[in-house]
Amino acid sequence: MSASNVTTVPVALRAFGYDVLVGKGASGELAGLLARRVPAARQVAVVTDEAVAAAPWFAGIDPGIPFTVHTVEAGERAKTLANVGALCRAFSRAGLARSDAVVAVGGGVVSDLAGFVAACYHRGTPYCTVATSLLCQVDAAIGGKTGVDLPEGKNLVGAFWQPSGVICDTALLETMPAREWASGRGEMAKYAFLGEPDLPLLGLEVQVARCVARKAAVVSADERDTGERVLLNYGHTLAHALEAACLEVGGDLRHGEAVAVGLVYAALLARRLGRIEDDRVAFHREVLARFGLSGRFPSGLAGVDKERLLSYMARDKKAAHDLAFVLDGPRGVELVREVAPEAVLAALEELACT
């Protein structure tokens, strides 16, 4: 695979910056990226999932040096501490050194998992990501947040571990299933409220590059998620709760699908708190519609206990023994703390009825 018209978006961190390569054929740059950023590497551990490993193009992935392939199951259930241990043991058996590299080839689950394993193995091994889903390209692969889930909630165990580089080959999206497109667009939609209101009107490669640049700017200003980076969680408080509830009942809900619901919910909650008016709620629905999304409460969770969702939201990483949400308002999107449980539950009921 050869790159053409590849856009380079720098992530300018204080101590360790890197580039994100966006465009058709960008995966052909993997060997060069590794040679530049991890020059001491003598072998690579490629981590992927069963679905990606079965794709015809996967055989063309070339790190430029000897590599082994380590495959996990597809889907959110792969993000477990058990898989962290299994991959670390597999790396050890393969003789992977701290100076070598891990390459994640897949969507957000693979990026999160492989990045966390790289952060743990030898107390920190370089890694790169070849993002194969829209969600991973516009969000999950950028920023150095890695981690796995617990039964008690999503991403509760993890580490900040920045990649040495990220590749967003938009050609790899061409055979992506419809639900994965919806998931990616759900994550993409949040950027329309974070400074990119015309995003639904742009072409795919421009959309990806704009999302990457927007996230890179936020991450560069707040690498460790202690300030404005929290805004990237817009729509995610309910989204993570829905995903956790879905895992409990064995349901099937993609992350971006949950984020789309979370964006509508955040608008309804903001209106209930007097932060926005009806027209702004309508704008949220309009943006989602332009991305082909409804933002309706998942039918498979219609009977879920709303108090259960409330308990999940109280465990959100933004919370400090309170209920905290990123909400729209007169000054734009911002973090709001100490939201009353009654308002949270009332907005949930309103969402479930629309």
Reported as a single tens digit per residue, the pLDDT across 246-291 is 988 888 899 999 999 999 999 999 999 999 999 999 999 999 999 9
Least confident of 11-20, 40-49, 252-261, 310-319: 310-319
Domain ranges of the chain: 7-176, 228-352
Q: What is the pTM of this model?
A: 0.90
| Predicted local confidence at residue 4, as pLDDT | 55
Beta-bridge mates of residue 147: 158
CA distance to 241, 269, 308, 341, 354, per residue, from 345 (Å): 13, 9, 10, 6, 15
State the first-to-last Cα distance of the chain, in angstroms, to the nearest integer.
46
* Token couple for 322: 């309170």
Query: Where do we find the tokens 């809900």?
Result: 253
CA distance to 28, 62, 70, per residue, from 59 (Å): 12, 8, 14
Percent of the chain at pLDDT above 90?
86
CATH code for the part of the protein at 7-176: 3.40.50.1970
| Predicted local confidence at residue 296, as pLDDT | 95
The DSSP secondary structure of 166-193, one letter per residue, reads EEE-GGGGTT--HHHHHHHHHHHHGGGG
- Average pLDDT score over the chain: 94
> Tens digits of per-residue pLDDT, 35-80?
999 999 999 999 999 999 999 999 999 999 999 999 999 988 999 9
| Predicted local confidence at residue 2, as pLDDT | 42
Q: Architecture of 228-352 per CATH? A: Up-down Bundle (1.20)
Percent of the chain at pLDDT above 70?
99
